[in-house]
Amino acid sequence: MKNLDDLVGVGIEGRKVLVRADLNVPLDGTTITDTGRIVATVPTIRKLTEAGAQVVITAHLGRPKGEPDAKYSLAPAALALGELLGVRVTLAADVVGESAKSAIAGMGNGEVVVLENVRFDPRETSKDEAERQALASDLADLVGPEAAFVSEGFGVVHRAQASVYDVAKLLPAYAGGLVEQEVAVLERLTESPQRPYVVVLGGSKVSDKLAVIESLLPRVDQLLVGGGMCFTFLAAQGKQTGSSLLEKDQVETCKRLLTEAGDKIVLPVDVVCAPEFKADSPATVYAADELPQDQMGLDVGPQTVELFGATIAAAQTIFWNGPMGVFEMPAFAAGTQGVATSIAQSSAYSVVGGGDSAAAVRALDVPEDKFSHISTGGGASLEFLEGKELPGLSVLEA
């Protein structure tokens, strides 16, 4: 893949550069609750602007239904990006319409324009290749024939979408600094991890992580399982899981995985439970094989944190994806806090696999610089580790 240095090296002063960024940040109304993905994008944008490029950013936020929706506007993200860059960032009111054309026509060197949420245009995610190509052509026409494309949205490189894949076929394409870094980190995990190699998986459903479990099991030394997904594994062991989240259709699969894994898979030995999924519901710790029928598991317990922590402390490589419990509720955050702290205190090469795990690190005030890498792409990271071809990367290698 050609990278940012290759692009800057050929001279980009006065040239337009279309950047596919990841500005898909969580919002509470119009307030961004975690700016991590925007912060991660800043070095690449700054490098381009300082080299005199005219930077046009395309990105998405949330899942609008192919039409403008004010609650998914990129306005808060564009404002935050401008504050982080220390420059004025102009937000176009549309994707490839008159507002976008006008904003881009008036650009000067080192300036930044953000196009409105690209998923407001239904062609972005269309299954019809011709429709996606038409949007890609419109994006390329916006920036002109002398422009270049930089792929900086690692969180979407597993999608064959117009602004990720199709436009990279129309303009000279380069990997941004963040995408290049993410690939290097994940290649290290798949090709040459130092051992013991420990993977910590959490989140709600086994079905969401099944492919990555199947792929990783032969390559890891220990797989620690927490979060809602652990209850399907516990059920596969014949344990009562109360009213906890349970994927009954995955129990037999979990039985097979436990048999194939031998002692590689480590499950919780105790669980923090409550009668209801509410922040103020009374929390009680139960042994993992003694959950009452009227209790649901919402976090791993203190003995599990200690057990997982001992395995983490002995590791040389750690990959963590998915919280251990409902960390957004203080009564059920201790498991995620404990595991995150253990990883942060480890001397291992540690990678946080994006998504909710990255949000948990910041929400629970675990020092980010204590991890070797915090990914910006949960789904993309998992698919890379599964060994899948990611369209947004393969097109950069073409």
Q: Is 23 annotated as a binding residue?
A: yes
Q: Which residues pair with 148 in a beta bridge?
A: 17
Q: Is 119 annotated as a binding residue?
A: yes
- 188 is known as an active-site residue: no
Q: Is 362 annotated as a binding residue?
A: no
- How many other β-carbons are positioned within 10 Å of the β-carbon of residue 382? 26
Q: Is 238 annotated as a binding residue?
A: no
Tokens at 386, concatenated: 């599964």
Considering 66, 255, 379, 388, which one is annotated as catalytic?
Answer: 379
- Cβ proximity of 323 and 209 under 8 Å: no
Q: Is 195 annotated as a binding residue?
A: no
Considering 15, 16, 20, 37, which one is annotated as catalytic?
Answer: 37
Q: Is 63 annotated as a binding residue?
A: yes
> What is the spatial distance between Cα 95 and Cα 101, in angstroms, rounded to a whole number?
9
Tokens at 87, concatenated: 């420059």
Ramachandran angles phi, psi of 304, nearest 5°: -70, -40
Q: Is 50 annotated as a binding residue?
A: no
- Cβ proximity of 155 and 379 under 8 Å: yes
Q: Is 242 annotated as a binding residue?
A: no
List, edge to edge, every strand of the sheet that includes 284-287: 284-287, 270-274, 296-300
Element (H, E) at 101: helix 98-105
Torsion on CA atoms 108, 114, 115, 117, rounded to nearest 10: 180
Considering 355, 377, 378, 392, which one is annotated as catalytic?
Answer: 355
- 205 is known as an active-site residue: yes
Q: Is 278 annotated as a binding residue?
A: no
Q: Is 62 annotated as a binding residue?
A: yes
The secondary structure of 241-305 as a DSSP string is BTTS---GGGHHHHHHHHHHHTT-EE--SEEEEESSSSTTSPPEEEETT-B-TT-EEEEE-HHHH
> What is the spatial distance between Cα 299 and Cα 313, in angstroms, rounded to a whole number?
21
Q: Is 34 annotated as a binding residue?
A: no
Torsion on CA atoms 155, 379, 219, 269, rounded to nearest 10: 130
Q: Is 24 annotated as a binding residue?
A: yes
> What is the spatial distance between Cα 254 and Cα 200, in angstroms, rounded to a whole number?
16
Burial degree of 13 (CB within 10 A; 0-12, 13-18, 19+): exposed
Q: Is 328 annotated as a binding residue?
A: yes
Q: Is 94 annotated as a binding residue?
A: no
Q: Is 158 annotated as a binding residue?
A: no
From the annotation, which residues make up the binding site for substrate?
A: 22-24, 37, 60-63, 119, 159
From the annotation, which residues make up the binding site?
A: 22-24, 37, 60-63, 119, 159, 209, 297, 328, 354-357
From the annotation, which residues make up the binding site for ATP?
A: 209, 297, 328, 354-357
Catalytic (active-site) positions:
37, 205, 355, 379
From the annotation, which residues make up the binding site for (2R)-3-phosphoglycerate?
A: 37, 119, 159
